[in-house]
Amino acid sequence: MTSVILATATRYLMPMLLLFSAFLLFRGHNLPGGGFIGGLVAAATFILHSLVFGVGETRKILRVRPVKLMGLGLLIAMASGLVGVFTRAPFLTGKWYELVLGQGDKWHVGTPVFFDVGVYLVVIGATLIIILSLAEED
Amino acid sequence: MKLLLILPIILPLTTAAVGLLCWRSIRAQQVIGLLGAGGLLAAAGSLLHGVWQNGPMALQLGNWPAPFGITLAADLFSAIMVVLAALMGFTVALYSLATVDPRRVRYGYFCFYHFLLMGVCGVFLTGDLFNMYVWFEVMLMASFVLMALGGEKEQLEGAIKYVTLNLISSAVFLTGLGILYGMSGTLNMAHLATVLPQSEHPFMVTTVAMLFLVAFGIKSAVFPLFFWLPASYHTPPVAVSAIFAGLLTKVGVYSLMRVFTLLFMGDVAYTHTLILIIAGFTMVTGVLGAAAQGEFRRILSFHIISQVGYMIMGLGLFTPLALTGSVFYIMHHIVVKTNLFLVSGVARLLGGSYRLERLGGLSLSAPGLSLLFAVSAFSLAGIPPLSGFWAKLILIIASFKDASYLIAATALLVSLLTLFSMTKIWAAVFWGEPAVAADPQPLSGRRRAALYVPIILLALITVTIGLGTGPILTLAERTADQLIDPRAYIRAVLGSVQ
Amino acid sequence: MELVAAIVVGGLFGAAVYLLLWRTPVKLIIGLVLLSNAINLLIFLAAGLTRGKPPIIPEGSLRAAQAVADPLPQALILTAIVISFGVLAFTLVLFSRTFKTLAATHLDEMKTTDS
């Protein structure tokens, strides 16, 4: 059922889609976007891959089990909440720090970004678990 | 200090997440599962201590002030429930080591177990209704997976009934939530408690109250919404049955007691009388259903229903004494019911079946187990001086004081029938000829310890509650006072705003 | 506008209940999907429909210049959609697995755990 066009297109699309999902993830800090839809786009990328090359192949290129992505994401999200606790504020309080890179460039980092990264990983993991196991059934 | 409020949620979350990272390693998951449960128990204990010392406390997540942000709040009732959840979580986790097969552990049994505990603690600690819905869903998702994990025929069939009915209950809950928000513009429970009495549409408030009654009624398995429970609770592994029996319906009861003491106080004559009537029917149908059953866990499942009747009976009477009785009953019931399920699992291991007619003679082959069963069973039926006796006594005195003689008579009758059910199990399982099919597998010392330590621990707690009623009663009384007069709770959540 | 939305909500609820009572698995799932959609719309409607006034505060000021749409119900609905997405996906897997294992096509064939 694999068509050459789809297979070739997928090869070129996948990096771009993954890049786009990362773009959505980081843009979500101040603008529409965020971990949830970023994660969905990333998961959709892998699902597209599984449609073309089969689920087994997708699991191979994923390298980690989707379950572990979920575990990691939950831990990252929770750790981002704990930053607030360690600075004597309630759990999940947003904290921003400025990292000074060389030549006066400043990088504005906040805990919500890490929370979003956690969400991103959880969404990828959960979506892939559900859809890959459905796809494997038949 | 305020960290204590968040710990019962993030500890199970961490445990589950670390468990997910150790996917497929059975030993690691077991160790993590047990350690996490132990940590949760410690955190819950200190939470109860803190609330007892300092009164209700609240935590505004992300530092957004209530009623705009997400609030966690704990009064004594929440703290007690968290402690009970953690206690059951720990004992059943220990028991799971001996009874849950490696295949299920490999597929993440302990991860979902801790997600379940997280959801349960979340419901108990949340200060706002929408988050209560979210925690309910967390709890349900985890329970769906636990129910179906292993994929045996019976299990899947039970899971379908469980899942469908619970989804509908969540749907009704969400509907009530939406209408409530439309009417009052807030979902923070403490804020609602101050806003709802001034509502321009008191009859709409009562309508929403009925939606909540149905939603939580399905979850706590009251008459006539209980059918999913006896159709599903006997299908998963016994450790799962035990934790479900101990906690899930009680989460429904907790929610009922929370909203019908804090929010829906506008038309007590109507709503609480209705709850009282439902309580009576729930008690009777539950116990009659149990009388007709011939399977150990199904009998116990029907008894959960009948016991839920007692708990909401106190809510229906709505006097300080009656609420004391309800709180006491919940404490007693969670311990005893979980323990009975644990005993049924051991009886199954020794006798090879859950069917009463295939079991027999365990009092000779396992006298210790018989004693442990007797303690819990008689406590359930309300034989003095065990914990169930005091719980029922308080409720019945409360109903006499309120001149509700009918419900008092019902409670007494049902307690008699409970005794009948328990003696039926006793006669079939522990007396009589040893079953022919019995082929007890030899138990290793460690496995035996993992089986018996939880049961002995819970039986000891039952006896302690029964003999040392004083402190527990004081605790229940203060809890009931806080429920009747929630000003301290509201002040803790909303701060100086009143 | 409110009236139309209310009728749609009612229609969705009706359809959902109708499908739930129809005792085949696929209709049961579609019924649950419709039910969750009906409720999302209901929350939206109960909180009041406000048209064309996004809750965006202009830069530099602390409050909106005019009355704006309430953003909270949208947040609630978004959460509810995500939750029901997850739950229904799980239900779908569970149902397909169950009906394959039991070789059943009708809910009435599943009575073994009831007695």
Between A and C, how many CB-CB pairs are < 8 A?
Answer: 12
For residue B224, the number of C-alpha atoms closer than 13 Å in the C-beta half-sphere is: 0
Give the burial string for B50-79 (b: 16+ CB within 10 Å, else e): bbeeeebbbbbbbeeebbebbbbbbbbbbb
Q: Which of B135, B174, B354 to mutate to test the interface with C (most CBs of C within 10 A)?
A: B174
Could you tell me which chain C residue has the CA closest to the CA of B230? C114
Query: Coil, helix or strand for B108?
Result: coil
Rounded (5°) CA angle B382-B384-B387:
65
Q: How many domains does chain B have?
A: 1
For residue B449, the number of C-alpha atoms closer than 13 Å in the C-beta half-sphere is: 2
B37 lies in some domain: no
Q: Cβ separation of C89 and A130 shorter than 8 Å? A: yes
B165 lies in some domain: no
With contact defined as 3+ CB pairs under 8 Å, the chains touching B are A, C
B189 lies in some domain: no
DSSP string, B226-253: -THHHHHTTSS-HHHHHHHHHHHHHHHH
B161 touches chain C (CB under 8 A): yes
Shortest alpha-carbon distance between residue A126 and chain C (Å): 9
Distance CA B150, CA B215 (A): 29
Domain boundaries, chain A: 4-137
Query: Coil, helix or strand for C104?
Result: coil
CB of B243 closer than 8 Å to CB of B338? yes
Q: How many domains does chain C have?
A: 1
Give me C2's structure tokens. Answer: 């409110």
Closest to B108 in 3D by CA, of B7, B28, B164, B41? B28
CB of B229 closer than 8 Å to CB of B305? yes
Q: Cβ separation of C113 and B177 shorter than 8 Å? A: no
Helix (H) or strand (E) holding A38: helix A35-53
Give me B80's structure tokens. Answer: 């007690």
Q: B26-54 and B76-99 helices cross at what angle (nearest 10)?
A: 160
Shortest alpha-carbon distance between residue C115 and chain A (Å): 31
The ipTM is 0.92
Give me B152's structure tokens. Answer: 């045996």
B419 lies in some domain: yes
A13 touches chain C (CB under 8 A): no
Q: Cβ separation of C28 and B164 shorter than 8 Å? A: yes
pLDDT tens sequence for chain B (498 residues): 678 888 999 999 999 999 988 887 888 888 999 999 999 999 999 999 999 998 898 888 888 887 888 889 999 999 999 999 999 999 999 999 888 888 888 888 999 999 999 999 999 999 889 999 999 999 999 999 998 888 788 888 888 889 989 999 999 999 999 999 988 888 999 999 988 888 888 888 999 999 999 999 999 999 888 888 888 888 889 999 999 998 999 999 999 999 999 988 888 888 999 999 999 999 999 999 888 888 888 889 999 999 999 999 999 999 999 999 999 999 999 999 999 999 998 888 887 778 877 777 777 778 888 888 888 888 888 888 888 889 999 999 999 998 889 999 999 999 989 988 888 888 888 887 776 555 566 677 788 888 889 999 999 999 988 888 888 899 999 999 999 988 889 988 887 544
B426 lies in some domain: yes
Q: Cβ separation of C101 and B153 shorter than 8 Å? A: yes
Note if the bond before B224 is cis, omega within 30 degrees: yes
Residues of A in contact with B20 (CB under 8 A): 67-68, 70-71, 74
Domain extent, residue B481, equals 286-436+446-489
User: What separation, in Å, do the N-terminal and C-terminal C-alpha atoms of chain A show?
Assistant: 15
Could you tell me which chain A residue has the CA closest to the CA of C93? A134
Question: Residue C14's domain is classified under what CATH number?
Answer: 1.10.287
B20 touches chain A (CB under 8 A): yes
C76 lies in some domain: yes
Cα B44 → chain centroid: 16
Domain extent, residue C73, equals 2-50+69-114
CB of B190 closer than 8 Å to CB of B493? yes
Q: In C, residues 15-34, which contact B (CB 8 Å cutoff)?
A: 20, 28, 32
pTM for the complete prediction? 0.92
C58 lies in some domain: no
B219 lies in some domain: no
User: What separation, in Å, do the N-terminal and C-terminal C-alpha atoms of chain C show?
Assistant: 50
C-beta neighbour count of B419 within 10 angstroms: 16
Give me B121's structure tokens. Answer: 């603690």
C59 lies in some domain: no
Distance CA B132, CA B134 (A): 5
B394 lies in some domain: yes
Residues of A in contact with C92 (CB under 8 A): 134
Rounded (5°) CA angle B472-B477-B481:
150
B421 lies in some domain: yes
The shortest CB-CB distance from C86 to any of A126, A133, A134 is to A126
CB of B228 closer than 8 Å to CB of B162? yes
